[in-house]
Amino acid sequence: VNIVAFGNERDGFSEDNQQPSLIWSYLGRSALISQIDSSLSATHVGNPVFTEYQACVFGNVRLVVYDCPVWDIFASDWYTSCRLIGGADIIVIKYSVNDKTSFQELKDSYVPMVKKALNHCSVPVIISAIGARKNGVPCTCPLCTSDRRSCVTTSEGVQLAKELGATYLELHTLNDFYIQKYFGGVLEYFMIQSLNQKSSDKMKKRKKIQKGHRVQPPQLEQPEKMPILKGEASHYNTDLHNLLCGCQCADVAFYPEDLSTVVEAHKVILCSVSPLFMLLFGVKSPADIPDTSIVQMAWSLFAVEVGATSPPALHGVPPCVLPVRVVVKDSVFCSCLPDILHFIYSGAFQWERLEEDVKKKLKDPEKTEQVLEKVKCILKTPGKLNPVKDCRSHQIKQLYNTSLRLFFNTPVLADVIFKIQGATVPAHRAVLVARCEVMAAMFNGNYLEANSVLVPVYGVSKDTFLSFLEYLYTDSCCPASILQAMSLLICAEMYQVMRLQHICELYIITQLQSMPSRELASTSLSIVSLLKKAKFHNSDCLSTWLLHFIATNYLIFSQKPEFQELSVEERNFIEMHRWPSNLYLKQLADYRNYIHSQKCHCTVM
């Protein structure tokens, strides 16, 4: 029985991060569970994507549980999340009743993704609302409105369950009663239902293949399993944080009023996270910002000196790009500025760590509160709620890959222009250097591009290069076709952006797998040509998969003229792994001869 659990049941306001999870509590306490084993999956930004538990239930039934506490798996690795849901017999969705923000994000962003991944499959879903509401006595009345301000009400949980066709449970605490009798009872009921269904399907299949008294036709074995390509975790926030640490292409220098120290940064990164910095660096005017508190904060906290002499610490900036000197008027805020910049460049999702760093540095609660309030004002979006109002990390965890899109393919703050196919494409050195090692070497080494604003690009089309830049800015890409994905893969290999290369490989594989045999036989797309390009551009995983794909669909591809373009080595591999095999075809021919000689009818055909 395969169970997949999504969501974090821990209270966001609780200081106990070591409390056991719902799944682990059930596995440890249930009398039906034995021989428990657990292992972590590949990590994403330092955290495990999911934990895999294996155990025995009902004596000899193998139980496999994937516990995914972070919903990010849907954003960072859609293929893995779909594979987990597709193989699930039971799905458990968990949330804390005291974390309304997480619940709202679950309802708005991730429930539609779960519906899409389920694709009308009849998989039982259990929604578990965990914890006792902290602003009153726990209430299970669906009509109760006393706890709707900061907690998730029962009626909201019931409504979510209706949307998914799920079973709704409230577990006020993870004690023996709620774990074994309540949650365990429902879970074990669905386990039994799943086992009964599998047993029924197995019996039906066995009846179909029961051997008769006559000679049976040869059994056609399943084709060999295709090699599985695993997605690579995103390192988007790490790239931008390393940009700050390395001080590459810095075009802003923050100084205290006595000019005793300097802190370097990048205009495009700062402007992508804050309208205050947009105002400071001339991207927006005061009339464009309806929130007067942001305008007042900008002029009271900073003073910009345009055209000042470039400090010697600024490297990688071409002579034609003037650095900006910014004087920080508040000395207390200026002393915390390095920590604040590290917080922003790390994706602005480690608010608790920033709080600790500022407290440790200032050792004054009043000054600490003042500095943190200014940070909240800096990151505030005009006309909207403060994104760090509740100091919760997940509210702005995708800060850059949505905000930097504003500066993609726009001349605003651009300091480099690519010339490609007679057209020009503006870009920002800071983003390019942070996200691409080849670009970093090009703009910081002894190359012409290091001191040039106009950079020619050869070997790729404008559309492909724009898609490549879009990935660098947003950490996402959406190819329109297999051929476009292959062009983008070639560009990614040229600039050594391996994660983008893997994304393109997965896209090509997914599209080919979804093609029905009739379309595969009539398509003008040359799979052999894709194979040769994959090999030439060092895409070993894709080239190996394509060889298996041709071998699996041997009867289709062997009739195409492009089949003759395969090398001797490739053809030998395909013949060895072809499906159906030569042995099966020979057995089928012998069986047909036998049927013809006996003058009898085939029991199957």
Please indicate, yes or no, whether the overall pTM of this predicted structure exceeds 0.75. no
Q: Which of 16-25, 60-69, 159-168, 446-455 has the lowest mean pLDDT?
A: 16-25
Confidence at residue 511, expressed as pLDDT on a 0 to 100 scale: 94
Q: Is the pLDDT of residue 528 over 90?
A: yes
Q: What is the pLDDT of residue 33?
A: 64
pLDDT at 283: 92
**Residue 369 pLDDT exceeds 60:** yes
Helix ranges restricted to H, 495-539: 498-513, 517-522, 527-536
CATH class of this structure's domain 247-306+321-379: alpha beta
Token pair for 487: 């062009």
Strands 167-171, 125-130: pairing is: parallel
> Which pLDDT belongs to residue 14?
52
CB atoms within 10 A of CB 425: 20
CA distance 40 to 66: 10
Spatial separation of the C-alpha atoms in residues 106 and 110, rounded to whole Å: 5
Closest by CA to 481, choosing from 461, 502, 457, 510, is 510
* Secondary element (H or E) of residue 47: strand 47-48
Q: Please, are residues 550 and 187 in contact by the beta-carbon 8 Å criterion? A: no
Residues 236-263, mean pLDDT to the nearest whole number: 89
The radius of gyration of the chain's CA atoms, rounded to the nearest angstrom, is 30
Q: What is the pLDDT of residues 131-181, one digit of tens each?
A: 888 765 555 555 554 444 578 888 998 998 898 888 898 888 877 777 777
* Residue carrying the six token digits 């039982």: 124
pLDDT of 388 over the 90 cut: no
Per DSSP, the chain holds a count of helices (H) and strands (E) of 27, 16
352 pLDDT band, cuts 50/70/90, is: confident
Averaged pLDDT score across all residues of the chain: 82
Share of the chain above pLDDT 90, in %: 38
Q: Band the pLDDT of 129: cuts 50, 70, 90.
A: confident
395 has a pLDDT exceeding 60? no
**Alpha-carbon distances of 256 from 253, 294, 306, 327, 362, rounded to whole Å:** 10, 21, 16, 6, 16
What class has domain 2-38+46-134+151-200? Answer: alpha beta
Sequence spans of domains, the chain: 2-38+46-134+151-200, 247-306+321-379, 509-604
Residue 79: the pLDDT is: 73
- pLDDT for the residue numbered 409: 94
- Which is more confident, 554 or 349? 554
Q: What is the pLDDT of residue 254?
A: 94
